[in-house]
């Protein structure tokens, strides 16, 4: 007791005294089912290829991808988002491997569905950037600009091919105007009303994508600022949200996650569909690099970053640590 009698009468520290107490009163909890594992599969390799800028992450072979999917199921992860990396010689201006039934992404979708069935949500990245020789997310016009409406035609075909290959969920990530409506119509036309759309509703033109470009063998020259969003803006994210919902999005996503927690919170506050956030390659690599230097506690930093994303409003989190963290939580 101080000379001021019983002051302070209210002591919040009483609820922080022991691990058991802190656990009991925790307002935000992570669960294995919160997580979706992004995974890369590369055509024409016999062993997994380490990604130098993403320690611990690889470009999978078909066999190692199936193993990773099975491990995700065992850990209790909800989904796996697949990115295909075709052989460089197969890329072209239209991104033909993206609609070829025998393209690496479609082959991988069939492999993973055969391995895990419905025990894991099998999701597919629906975008052209991995398959075009120019590295952009769409078809270019004669002036080298991304042609929105010509790209939508390619997305519609991609959606149908990915659904036929076994995708439970397609994830359109190219940020073309009208993409959700066109993809929904394309899926419904072939009787695939059961395939859900996870809309990349908020996708900023971020500097944190750098390591991802290595992961997918990107051929990009220039940038994507004419179609990805300006990091300075908030209202256009809410406008994109309204449009995607009107066009039939089943779930929406904010990407990146960590630098845009304010946007994530705004989106979660105003929508009644599930909200996901993508903890992208740069977010992953910064923590891994700092931990390798001994500058931060790796495990604590991972959990803290994921807790912050969920606290801001994400129901699901795409993270390269999905299986690792899910195992620890279980």
* CB count in 10 Å sphere of residue 120: 23
Annotated binding site for 5-aminolevulinate: 213, 224, 281, 320
Which is the catalytic residue, given 66, 91, 203, 310? 203
Which residues is 202 bridged to in the sheet? 254
Which is the catalytic residue, given 3, 67, 91, 255? 255
Annotated binding site for Mg(2+): 240
Contact (Cβ atoms closer than 8 angstroms) between residue 296 and residue 287: yes
Place of tokens 């058991």: 20
255 an active-site residue? yes
SS3 string, the chain, reads: CECCECCCCCCHHHHHCCHHHHHHCCCCCCCHHHEEEEEEEECCCCCCEECCCCCCCEEECHHHHHHHHHHHHHHCCCEEEEEEECCHHHCECCCHHHCCCCCHHHHHHHHHHHHHCCCCEEEEEECCCCCECCCCCCCECCCCCECHHHHHHHHHHHHHHHHHHCCCEEEECCCCCCHHHHHHHHHHHCCCCCCEEEEEEEEECCHHHHHHHHHCCCCCCCCCCCCCECCCCCHHHHHHHHHHHHHCCCEEEEECCHHHHHHHHHHHHHCCCCEEEECCHHHHHHHHHHHHCCCCCHHHHHHHHHHHHHHHCCCEEECCCHHHHHHHHC
Place of tokens 């075909």: 157
Which residues is 123 bridged to in the sheet? 81, 169
221 an active-site residue? no
Paired tokens of 271: 């929508």
Backbone phi and psi for residue 87, each to the nearest 5 degrees, phi listed first = -60, 140
Annotated binding site: 213, 224, 240, 281, 320
Among 114, 103, 116, smallest CA distance to 161 is for 103
| Residues that are catalytic | 203, 255
């Amino acid at each position: 007791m101080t000379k001021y009698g019983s002051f302070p009468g209210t002591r919040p520290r009483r609820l922080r005294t022991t691990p058991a107490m802190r656990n009991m009163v925790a307002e935000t909890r992570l669960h294995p089912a919160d997580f979706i594992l992004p995974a890369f599969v590369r055509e024409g390799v016999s062993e997994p290829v380490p990604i130098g800028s993403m320690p611990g992450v690889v470009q999978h072979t078909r066999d190692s991808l199936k193993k990773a999917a099975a491990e995700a199921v065992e850990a209790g992860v909800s989904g796996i988002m697949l990115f295909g990396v075709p052989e460089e010689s197969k890329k072209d201006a239209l991104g033909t491997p993206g609609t070829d039934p025998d393209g690496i992404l479609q082959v991988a979708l069939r492999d993973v569905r055969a391995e895990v069935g419905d025990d894991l949500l099998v999701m597919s990245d629906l975008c052209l950037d991995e398959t075009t020789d120019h590295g952009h997310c769409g078809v270019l016009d004669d002036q080298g600009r991304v042609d929105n409406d010509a790209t939508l035609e390619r997305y519609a075909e991609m959606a149908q091919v990915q659904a036929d290959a076994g995708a439970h969920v397609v994830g359109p990530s190219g940020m073309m105007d009208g993409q959700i409506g066109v993809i929904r119509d394309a899926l419904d036309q072939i009787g695939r009303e059961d395939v859900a759309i996870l809309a990349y509703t908020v996708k900023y033109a971020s500097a944190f994508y750098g390591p991802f470009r290595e992961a997918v063998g990107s051929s990009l020259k220039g940038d994507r600022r004419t179609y990805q969003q300006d990091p300075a803006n908030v209202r256009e994210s809410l406008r994109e949200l309204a449009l995607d919902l009107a066009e039939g999005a089943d779930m929406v996503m904010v990407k990146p996650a960590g630098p845009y927690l304010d946007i994530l919170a705004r989106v979660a506050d105003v929508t009644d569909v599930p909200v996901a956030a993508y903890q992208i390659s740069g977010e992953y690599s910064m923590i891994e690099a700092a931990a390798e230097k001994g500058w931060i506690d790796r495990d604590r930093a991972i959990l803290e970053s994921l807790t912050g994303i969920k606290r801001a409003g994400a129901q699901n989190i795409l993270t390269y640590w999905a299986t690792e963290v899910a195992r620890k939580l279980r």
